[in-house]
């Protein structure tokens, strides 16, 4: 807090920040910064839609010490709302009533956002050999007899052995605690859930027709979950939401930094993601019309840090070399209650194995989903995120690495970037003659030059540009000659079009302009994407070099980003190596699909556990050739690789290099100093 009577307020997940006079309501500060908070009643404390969370702790990234006493006490308005509705959960406030008294980090939950993020991960259609590890068996148990001294449990096991040939079954005490009630309520007819043909984990009175399982992909940005009928394999409900850990840091390393700076806070990050999982569970069960007690199994995938935090493992060792995993084995047979999950109390949890310190269970899920280890075809799997996980191989050999692409592809580090939400530009085309753009935004099916677009986009406006739009606009700028192979905006075009404008010592390209905002692609934006794509391509080239190949047969993009990227533009920009475009496709949420396969097939679990042991890990941080590959990959699409297959389908500009203005000035100064 400053001496001027002002406080610094940081809003997550948007990252907007500003200073405000003490006593300013949170909602007023949010509106001044353009933070997305819903409020139907206009701040009168009637609707309750403007709820926010105070994040407590020391946030080094923001330079903020955020404490509970940095907000005003609960007001009469909030108390009245709680009396009418229900108590606000701990740490949650009505932003229209809570006033700022000191520096604070305020999290706006997705439920309070007008433009809620569109979580694009979905269950892919896939043929899976159905062999769930949990199965149901209905039996009729002999009633107790004074002349036959056998317990209810013994007679249940005898019935299972007699009717289903299930011998030597084990059980937990939790089963015994509810067994007698179930037997008598079911008139000695019960349905029994057996785990892995070895252990009784649940007993219901009468006939229980269906049980369910959850497959969960815990991403650093989003969590996606699918509820599956274990009898049919059908996905009966899907849901997703932002990972609430984002309040502790946008990226993985900042979350580890938070844990390091706040010892013991790993439990907070674990609790936050588990709370989100329970909210998702209720949402899935409600959508499917089933009780949470009918969920008997859950499988999880995530990057190494997310996987660690979900299972309550401190991930700090993954924050620096040598990036040691606590375990590279599958997590098998864990009780759901050990993770505080609100599914059946005796349900079991399975976590796919991690591969290396930066190549996690989500990559194992992608491998299980895409099965490169079964064919002769050389397949490249790319899961683009803050760290890009890359797998190359076939049935003879598998290589994997992680490359530090950063968050640029997700809209971060881009001046007008944002996540994929309503109002974000996601498609771009630029006329090479007029240099005029046209685009599509999420939430409207029309292109910007089509009749009705303005009205169709009016409800959410044009708010920024998301990952797929960023890739397309820079690739289109290259095709139209607005930038050259080095990514430099050609300032001379300012005489030809108002779209190219001076921006300090460089130039920018104006993509959209209206009364409320201007969205421009700056030279720094282009550099951020060049750095990200060069890191990705360098990782791919390292694997190809180690494999001993100059080409790949097939490329599969995994993850939410890969689902919506146009593969042609990805190749034009140079994210991936040259390949026939028809062989470059999206795998969708392949990590989540892998989790679903593991949920529905015990054979698949054993298979992926064996396969990941054969994966050869390549550490990009210690590879001497990485830097050379990185420098060459900064050019668009590449400094040396010819991209013959791409050129057969797309007319690429001739490679004309031009230094950025600041580089030319620097060279001029050096020449002057040398001559003097």
- Cross-strand bridge partners of residue 227: 214, 237
Determine phi and psi for 336, rounding to 5 degrees.
Answer: -60, -35
Contact status, residue 277 vs residue 223, Cβ threshold 8 Å = yes
Write down the pLDDT at residue 673.
42
Give pLDDT < 70 ranges for the chain: 1-4, 40-42, 114-128, 412, 655-676
Q: How is the chain split among helix, strand and coil, in percent rounded to 5?
A: 35, 25, 40
Write down the pLDDT at residue 571.
95
Write down the pLDDT at residue 459.
86
Strand (E) or helix (H) holding 283: helix 266-288
Fold of 134-205: Ubiquitin-like (UB roll) (3.10.20)
Write down the pLDDT at residue 410.
73
* Strands (DSSP E) found in 435-505: 437-441, 464-465, 500-503
Just give the CATH number of 212-351. 3.30.420.480
Write down the pLDDT at residue 41.
61
Contact status, residue 225 vs residue 240, Cβ threshold 8 Å = yes
Closest by Cα among 567, 561, 530, 532 to 650: 567
* Strands (DSSP E) found in 272-387: 295-302, 331-335, 348-351, 379-383
pTM, rounded to two decimals: 0.82
9 vs 103: CA distance, rounded Å? 6
Any idea where the domains of the chain sit in the sequence? 6-112, 134-205, 212-351, 367-676
Domain spanning 6-112: CATH 3.30.70.2740: no
Q: What letters, b where the CB count within 10 A reaches 16 and e where it falls short, cover 234-251? A: ebbbbbbbbbbbbbbbbb
341 vs 364: CA distance, rounded Å? 23
Cα torsion angle, 70, 74, 75, 77, sign: positive
Same fold, 6-112 and 134-205: yes
Strand (E) or helix (H) holding 237: strand 235-242
- Cross-strand bridge partners of residue 21: 6
133 vs 193: CA distance, rounded Å? 10
């Amino acid at each position: 807090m400053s001496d001027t009577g002002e406080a610094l307020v940081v809003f997550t997940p948007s990252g907007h920040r500003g200073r405000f006079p003490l006593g300013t309501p949170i909602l007023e500060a949010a509106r001044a910064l353009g933070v997305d908070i819903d409020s139907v009643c206009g701040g009168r404390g009637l609707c309750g839609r403007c709820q926010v969370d105070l994040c407590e702790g020391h946030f080094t990234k923001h330079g903020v010490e955020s404490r509970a006493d940095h907000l005003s006490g609960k007001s009469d308005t909030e108390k009245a709302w709680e009396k009418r509705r229900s108590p606000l959960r701990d740490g949650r406030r009505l932003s229209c009533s809570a006033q700022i008294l000191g520096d604070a980090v305020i999290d706006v939950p997705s439920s309070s956002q007008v433009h809620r993020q569109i979580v694009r991960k979905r269950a892919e259609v896939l043929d899976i050999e159905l062999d769930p590890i949990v199965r149901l068996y209905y039996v009729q148990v002999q009633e107790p007899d004074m002349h036959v001294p056998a317990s209810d449990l013994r007679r249940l096991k005898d019935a299972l052995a007699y009717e289903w040939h299930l011998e030597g079954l084990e059980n937990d005490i939790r089963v015994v605690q509810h067994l007698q009630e179930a037997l008598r309520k079911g008139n000695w007819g019960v349905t029994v859930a057996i785990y892995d043909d070895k252990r009784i984990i649940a007993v219901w009175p009468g006939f229980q027709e269906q049980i369910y399982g959850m497959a969960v992909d815990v991403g650093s940005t989003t969590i996606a979950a699918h509820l599956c009928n274990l009898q049919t394999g059908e996905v009966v409900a899907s849901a997703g939401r932002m990972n609430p850990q984002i309040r502790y840091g946008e990226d993985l390393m900042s979350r580890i930094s938070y844990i390091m700076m706040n010892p013991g806070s790993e439990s907070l990050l674990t609790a936050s993601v588990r709370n989100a999982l329970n909210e998702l569970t209720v949402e899935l069960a409600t959508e499917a019309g089933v009780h949470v007690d009918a969920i008997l199994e859950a499988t999880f995938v995530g990057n190494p840090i997310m996987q660690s935090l979900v299972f309550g493992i401190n991930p700090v060792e993954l924050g620096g070399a040598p990036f040691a995993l606590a375990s590279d084995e599958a997590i098998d047979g864990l009780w759901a209650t050990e993770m505080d999950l609100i599914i059946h109390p005796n349900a079991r949890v399975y976590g796919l194995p991690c591969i290396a310190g930066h190549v996690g269970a989500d990559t194992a899920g992608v491998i299980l989903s895409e099965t490169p280890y079964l064919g002769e075809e050389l397949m490249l799997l790319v899961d683009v995120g803050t760290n890009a996980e890359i797998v190359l191989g076939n049935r003879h050999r598998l290589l994997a690495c992680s490359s530090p692409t950063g968050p640029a592809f997700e809209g971060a580090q881009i001046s007008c970037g944002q996540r994929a939400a309503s109002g974000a530009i996601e498609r771009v085309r630029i006329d090479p003659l007029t240099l005029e753009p046209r685009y599509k935004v999420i939430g409207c099916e029309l292109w910007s030059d089509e009749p009705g677009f303005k009205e169709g986009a009016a409800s959410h406006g044009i708010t920024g540009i998301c990952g797929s739009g960023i890739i397309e606009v820079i690739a289109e700028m290259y095709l139209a000659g607005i930038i050259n192979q080095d990514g430099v905006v050609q300032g001379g075009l300012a005489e030809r079009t108002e779209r190219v404008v001076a921006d300090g010592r460089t130039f920018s390209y104006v993509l959209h302009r209206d009364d409320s905002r201007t969205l421009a692609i700056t030279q720094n934006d282009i550099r951020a994407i060049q750095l990200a794509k060069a890191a990705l391509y360098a990782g791919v080239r390292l694997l190809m070099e180690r494999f001993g190949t100059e080409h790949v047969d097939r490329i599969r993009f995994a993850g939410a980003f890969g689902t919506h990227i146009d593969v042609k533009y990805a190749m034009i920009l140079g994210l991936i190596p040259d390949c026939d475009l028809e062989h470059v496709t999206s795998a969708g949420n392949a990590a989540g699909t892998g989790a679903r396969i593991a949920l529905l097939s015990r054979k698949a679990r054993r298979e992926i556990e064996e396969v990941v042991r054969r994966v050869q890990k390549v550490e990009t941080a210690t590879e001497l050739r990485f830097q050379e590959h990185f420098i060459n990959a900064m050019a668009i699409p590449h400094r040396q690789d010819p991209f013959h297959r791409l050129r057969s389908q797309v007319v690429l500009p001739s490679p004309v290099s031009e230094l950025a203005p600041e580089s030319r000035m620097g060279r001029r100064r050096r020449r002057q100093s040398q001559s003097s």
